[in-house]
Amino acid sequence: MNVGSLSLYKKLFMKMSIIIKVCLILPLILFLDYILMVLIGCATCLFGVGNGFYCGPYCIVGKIILGLSALFFGFLIYPDIAQLFKSKKNVTHTEK
């Protein structure tokens, strides 16, 4: 194996890591957000909160949860994207 093939494997692994995070982890995070919002909605309905709650505070809580999930996903995927762009800058082309 030469140096070029190792960097090719590294790039392929980084791209697969990004694809796995987007195709598996992002839907899982969104599903957990959905389950959390359902649980909050069921709990507030059980405690007899009025209809005005769902137009105000419930929507604000949903936006906060979705925003925190987006930050968490960005935190997960940022190192892979940064590494991918950094490796493109440092690539040296070798001739056969």
Task: State pTM to two decimals.
Answer: 0.75
Task: Tell me the per-residue pLDDT of 34-65, one tens digit each, with 9 for 90 and over.
Answer: 999 999 999 999 998 888 888 899 999 999 99
List alpha helices for the chain, DSSP H: 3-20, 26-46, 52-55, 57-89
Among 10-14, 42-46, 76-80, whose mean pLDDT is lowest? 10-14
| Rounded Cα distance, 64 and 60, in Å | 6
